[in-house]
Amino acid sequence: MSLLDEIEPLKAEALAELNAATDQAALDHAKGTWLGPQGRFTGLMKQMGSLSKEDRPLAGKSINAAKGELEAALQTARDRIELAAAAPTEPTDFTAPGRRRTLGKLHPLTQVTEDIVKSFRKLGFAVADGPEVEDEYHCFDALNTPADHPARDAQDTFYVATDGRPLLRTHTSSVQIRVMKEQKPPVRIIVPGRVYRRDTADATHNPTFHQVEGLYVDKNVTVADLKGTVEFVFRDLMGPKTQIRFRPHYFSYTEPSFEIDFANALTRKMGKDWLEIAGCGMVHPAVLEEVGLDPEEWTGWAFGFGIERIAMLRYGINDIRLFYENDLRFLRQF
Ligand code: DAH
């Protein structure tokens, strides 16, 4: 049999084997058998040299054509096997329920803070902030709190260094000073933020907690504005039947100063007529002067309250430390 006659049957045999391969191993084997360096088809090509000069062109053409066909078949088989490997081994059940991802939630303190911010936004208040590492000037002096005031004692305040006396702010009131120095009135801001005090942790105290400060400075601002604003916000937060009352108090940065009590179904459930919730007052003339505002021209009010306390009342939480422990059994309830 001449070489030319061998091409077609050999090709047919090789094609059959390539097309029959159902996995990568079978395909590799077929490729080696036919097209590898020692392969049978490769062997055929090697015999070209023994052909006569006349037979060689025709044989070369046929062999190349056959080789092209085999390589195409090899690629087809490769694609087919790859596709089969990627296909699911089990039938898809399109009626099965989808897979759910576990989503995290906002911390209860964040949720309450967002609600407080939302309420004040309705009245045109903007959110401001300031540094947690403060200086004595913004935290105390500019707020009319003298050097011998107990809050400035190292027993009550975390001092970061003795040099220059930087400290961790004990209240968000420090931001009042920063904002009034930056911004001409009318000023209408609230400041939610973290504060620090040297308290031993127990059910109602923690060395870090959160406050919201509010400040409104304009012409002819009155206690009536203050009371109306506080009433609106607490009703928004704690229910429309919430009652508010002001009791005279003392803060060095306000005059007059008040403590705010509230009453609603919640306080009655706790067996109390009134619960203390915030401090407030008319911004002290000395504070206005300190930030370069003429107290004859400008008046303002300010308030501050604790966010944890609001959250504890709202959700009936009896231990403040639960907020900071990140126990999922606690957090998942909000
Ligand atoms: N800074 C006070 C505190 O930490 C709260 C407070 C009282 C803020 C009266 C004020 C205010 O702005 O006018 O308890």
Q: Is 213 in the pocket of ligand 1 (CB under 6 A)?
A: yes
- Helix or strand holding residue 4 (H, E): helix 3-20
Q: Is 279 in the pocket of ligand 1 (CB under 6 A)?
A: yes
Looking from the CA of residue 251, the nearest atom of ligand 1 is 9
Which residue type does 307 have? I
Question: Quick one: CA dihedral 148, 149, 154, 157, positive or negative?
Answer: negative
Q: Is 280 in the pocket of ligand 1 (CB under 6 A)?
A: yes
Q: Where are the domains of the chain?
A: 3-86, 108-331
> How far apart are alpha carbons 269 and 255 in whole angstroms?
34
Which residue's entry shows tokens 């006569």?
A: 52
Question: In the prediction, which pLDDT does 130 show?
Answer: 97
Range 325-329, long-range pairs (CB < 8 A, 24+ positions) = none
Looking from the CA of residue 213, the nearest atom of ligand 1 is 12
Q: Indicate yes or no: pTM above 0.85.
A: no
Question: Quick one: CA dihedral 179, 251, 200, 135, positive or negative?
Answer: positive
Question: In the prediction, which pLDDT does 90 show?
Answer: 87
Nearest residue (CA) to ligand 1, atom 4 = 171
> How far apart are alpha carbons 107 and 304 in whole angstroms?
21
> How far apart are alpha carbons 196 and 141 in whole angstroms?
18
- Helix (H/G/I), strand (E/B), else coil: 251: strand
Query: In sequence order, which residues have a C-beta less than 8 Å from that of residue 257 and are 6 or more positions away?
Result: 248, 249, 250, 251, 279, 280, 281
Q: Domain 108-331: which topology?
A: BirA Bifunctional Protein; domain 2 (3.30.930)
Identify which of 145, 196, 253 to mutate to test ligand 1's pocket (most ligand atoms within 8 A of the CB). Answer: 253
239: CA distance to ligand 1 center in Å? 23
Contact status, residue 279 vs residue 151, Cβ threshold 8 Å: no
Question: In the prediction, which pLDDT does 218 show?
Answer: 98
The region that residue 292 occupies, defined by phi over 0 for left and psi between -120 and 50 for alpha, beta otherwise, is left
Nearest residue (CA) to ligand 1, atom 7 = 279
Nearest residue (CA) to ligand 1, atom 12 = 303
Nearest residue (CA) to ligand 1, atom 10 = 303
Looking from the CA of residue 305, the nearest atom of ligand 1 is 5
> How far apart are alpha carbons 320 and 309 in whole angstroms?
8
Query: In sequence order, which residues have a C-beta less than 8 Å from that of residue 265 and are 6 or more positions away?
Result: 239, 241
The region that residue 236 occupies, defined by phi over 0 for left and psi between -120 and 50 for alpha, beta otherwise, is alpha
Strand 187-196 versus strand 126-127 pairing type: parallel
Residues of the chain predicted below pLDDT 70: 1
Q: Is 313 in the pocket of ligand 1 (CB under 6 A)?
A: no
Question: In the prediction, which pLDDT does 84 show?
Answer: 87
Q: What angle do CA 308, 314, 318 make, to 5 degrees?
A: 65
Nearest residue (CA) to ligand 1, atom 6 = 304
Question: In the prediction, which pLDDT does 1 show?
Answer: 57
Looking from the CA of residue 254, the nearest atom of ligand 1 is 13
Query: In sequence order, which residues have a C-beta less than 8 Å from that of residue 116 and are 6 or more positions away?
Result: 190, 192, 212, 233, 237, 307, 310
Looking from the CA of residue 211, the nearest atom of ligand 1 is 4
Q: Is 210 in the pocket of ligand 1 (CB under 6 A)?
A: no
pLDDT digits (tens, 9 = 90+) for 228-244: 999 999 999 999 999 99
DSSP 142-195: GGT--TT-GGGSTTTS-BS-SSS--EE-SSTTHHHHHHHHHSPSPEEEEEEEEE
Looking from the CA of residue 195, the nearest atom of ligand 1 is 4
pLDDT digits (tens, 9 = 90+) for 63-80: 889 889 999 999 999 999
317: CA distance to ligand 1 center in Å? 23
268: CA distance to ligand 1 center in Å? 26
Contact status, residue 73 vs residue 15, Cβ threshold 8 Å: yes
